[in-house]
């Protein structure tokens, strides 16, 4: 089994509350880097990262083009940019056309993560009001990665997680709390790839 190397998450409507709750389960030295697309207006500022840093122990920042992925970090797609993972484990930003009416698009991130990490990738779809993320989560599943969806019955906006469940035979359908606990358990497993600080 290939070591786990990254967690990618997609979230839309209801994301501020969902992310602050889920990430609160993770310690500051969480070994797996977490890369998130939150649908956000292009005119938005960096409020989301600043807010989450007041709520959670792990460090949250907006992704910067060409920066290397590091452990103990949560990376957020900046407003107006697709966020992708390159083969060399760096991040890249793109202003390519919107996908699923969104830029950043969850599918774009998930597809690039599946290609770069294959079975070393964990994909998570959370609350949201559209279908973005379903196709990308299927790509992660087909690449051998772990797929997790927030239980639609617990989601503030169930459309996006329900679309993922309808599209993918996902590995886990969990509440936010149980997703947080599951990711915390992964932190303690030996098969996690250890990135160099």
Q: Which residues are catalytic?
A: 12, 39, 132
Distances (CA, A) of 58 to 14, 25, 78, 126: 20, 9, 18, 19
| Nearest-angstrom CA–CA distance, 9 and 55 | 18
């Amino acid at each position: 089994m290939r070591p786990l190397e990254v967690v990618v998450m997609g979230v839309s409507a209801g994301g501020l509350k969902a992310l602050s709750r889920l990430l609160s389960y993770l310690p500051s030295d969480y070994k797996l880097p977490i890369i998130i697309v939150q649908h956000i207006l292009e005119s938005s500022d960096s409020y989301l990262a600043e807010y989450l840093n007041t709520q959670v122990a792990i460090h949250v920042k907006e992704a910067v083009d060409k920066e290397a992925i590091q452990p103990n970090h949560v990376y957020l797609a900046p407003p107006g940019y697709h966020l992708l993972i390159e083969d060399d484990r760096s991040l890249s930003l793109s202003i390519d056309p919107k996908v699923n009416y969104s830029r950043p698009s969850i599918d774009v991130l998930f597809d690039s993560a599946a290609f770069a990490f294959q079975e070393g990738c964990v994909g998570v779809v959370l609350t949201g009001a559209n279908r973005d993320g379903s196709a990308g989560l299927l790509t992660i599943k087909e690449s051998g990665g772990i797929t997790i969806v927030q239980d639609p019955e617990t989601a503030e906006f169930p459309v996006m997680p329900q679309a993922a469940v309808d599209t993918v035979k996902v590995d886990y359908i969990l509440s936010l709390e149980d997703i947080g606990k599951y990711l915390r358990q992964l932190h303690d497993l030996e098969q996690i790839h250890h990135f160099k600080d």
